[in-house]
Amino acid sequence: MVDYDSEGLISAWSFDGAGTGRRIGWDEIRRGAPSGRGFDWINLQQLDHRYGKNWLNDESRIDPSIIESLTAAETRPRCALFDNGAFLNLRGINLMPYSLPDEMHSIRFWVEPNRIVSVRKRTLSAVGDFEDAIQRGRAPRSPGEFVADLSMRLVDRMDTVITALAEQADELEELVLSATLSNLSVKVSEVRRVAIILRRYIAPQREALNHFSLEDAEWLSPRDRNRLREAADRVTRFAEELDSVRDRAAVIYDQMVERRAEQMNHSMLILAAVTVVFAPMTLITGLMGMNVEGIPGAQDPNGFWAVTLIAGLLGAGLVALLRMIRWL
C-alpha cells in the first residue's frame, strides 16, 4: 500500500525553531516557507511520471537543475553547495522486514534556510524513526540540526549491519579449517559481495557529509558541524572495516584454495603410492597367469600359494620403503 498522494507527498512538517513540530498539508505548503526561525520539511516520493504536472516541478521555485538532481536515477552520495542552499544525497541501510543487508537506498535533500525538500525512491527505516521522534516532541530546531540528526540515524543503522558482517567474517575464519569447503564457499562469496557493495556507497558518503559541514550558513551551528563531522568519521571507520572484511574474505578464500589443493595433493599421493605398491604385484601375477606352456610351477599344487606369498612380501616391502622415505 502506497504511503503518498497523487503528487508524491509522503509527509510534511512545520517546525517553530524551538523544538516543536506539527504536520501540515498542501494548503500550508503552497503558502510558502515560514519566516523567522521556523522552517518546513516536505518529504516527497520519487514518481515515475516525474515530468508531469506536480508541486515539485511547477510550484516549488527550485532551480530545474536541482530538481533534476532530486529526481535523478540511482546516484552515489554527494553534496553540492549553492548561494541559496545546499543539495545533499545520502544513502541508508534499510532495517525494515524483508530488506537485504546490501540494499542502500538514497534520499536526496534540498536545504534552504526556511525549507527542506527531501525526495526518496524507497522507504527508509531511519526516516520513519526520525518522524516518530518528532511526534514525541524531539523536533529539530534548525535545518542544520535536522540534517545532522538524520545523518546520525542513517549512520547508526550502518553500524548494526557492518558489525554483523564483521562477526560473520570472524565465524568464517574459525570454520575454514573444519567446515566442508562446498558449504563454506557460498558464505565467503556472499560476505565479500556485500562488503564490496556497501563500501561503494559508504565511502562517498564520508565526503558528502564533510562537504556539507563546510556550508557557510547561519542555520548550521558549530554543534551541527561537529555532529556531521562525527558522522563522517564513523562512516570512515565503516569504510575501513569493510575493507578489512573484504580482505579477510579474500584471505579465507585463499585458505580454502590451499586446503583444497592440499587435499588434492594428499589424494594424488595416496593414488601414486597404491600404484607403486600394486604395479610390481600386478606384473608378477600377470606373468604367472599367462595361459601358455612353460609357466614355472604350473604343475605344482603349491605354486599359487608361492606366487601369492612372493607378491605379498613384495607389497609389504614396498609399503615399508614408502614409509621410510615418508611417502606414507
**Distance from C-alpha of 143 to C-alpha of 39, rounded to nearest angstrom:** 7
pLDDT digit string, tens, across residues 208-225: 888 888 877 788 888 988
Range of the structural domain that residue 216 is part of: 9-258
Judge whether 110 lies within some domain. Answer: yes
Same domain, 108 and 76: yes
Residues 6+ apart with CB under 8 A from 131: 11, 13
| pLDDT for the residue 179 | 60
> Has residue 2 been placed in a domain?
no
Regarding whether 314 and 252 lie in a shared domain, the answer is no
- pLDDT of 287 reads 72
Asked if 121 and 232 sit in the same domain, the reply is yes
Output the average pLDDT for the chain: 83
For range 20-49, the mean pLDDT? 85
Task: Single out the residue in 205, 224, 258 at which a domain terminates.
Answer: 258
Q: Which of 52-56, 137-141, 185-189 has the highest mean pLDDT?
A: 137-141
Task: Give phi and psi for 136, each to the nearest 5.
Answer: -85, 5
Half-sphere exposure at residue 60, Cβ-oriented, CA atoms within 13 angstroms: 27
Per-residue pLDDT at 97 exceeds 60: no
Residues 301 and 194 in one domain: no
Give the pairing type, strands 39-45 and 9-15.
antiparallel
User: In the prediction, which pLDDT does 328 show?
Assistant: 65
Grid cell 511520471 — which residue?
49
* Single pTM value for the model: 0.74
Cell of 67: 530538481
Same domain, 128 and 186: yes
Q: Which helix (H) or strand (E) holds 10?
A: strand 9-15
27-36, long-range: CB within 8 Å, 24+ apart, which pairs?
A: 29/55, 30/55, 30/59, 33/112, 33/114, 33/115, 34/114, 35/114
Domains identified in the chain, total number? 2
- Residue 199 shares a structural domain with residue 176: yes
Confidence of residue 149 (pLDDT cuts 50, 70, 90): very high
pLDDT at residue 118 tops 90: yes
- Concatenating the DSSP letter of every residue in 194-233 gives HHHHHHHHHHHHHHHHHHHHT---TTS-HHHHHHHHHHHH
Type of residue found at 64: P
pLDDT per residue as tens digits for the range 156-208: 888 888 888 888 888 888 777 666 666 677 888 888 888 888 888 888 888 88
- Residues, the chain, total? 328
C-alpha distances (whole Å) from 293 to each of 191, 288, 296, 299, 300 are 70, 11, 9, 11, 14
Q: pLDDT grade, residue 122 (50/70/90)?
A: confident
Report d(CA 214, CA 234) in Å as an integer: 18
pLDDT of residue 88: 92
- Report which of residues 297 and 44 the model is more confident about: 44
> For the purposes of burial, counting CB atoms within 10 Å of the CB of 220, is it exposed (0-12), middle (13-18) or buried (19 or more)?
buried
Residue range 120-147: average pLDDT?
Answer: 89
Mean pLDDT of 286-314: 74
Has residue 253 been placed in a domain?
Answer: yes
216: CATH: 1.20.58.340
Q: Does 77 or 174 have the greater pLDDT score?
A: 77
Same domain, yes or no, for 292 and 150? no
Least confident range of 35-39, 96-100, 285-289:
96-100
Q: What is the pLDDT of residue 255?
A: 80
Is the CB of residue 34 less than 8 Å from the CB of residue 116?
Answer: no
Buried b / exposed e along 106-144 (16+ C-beta atoms within 10 A): bbbbbbbbbbbbbbbeeebbbbeebbeebeeeebbbbbb
Note whether 38 and 114 are within 8 A (CB). Answer: yes
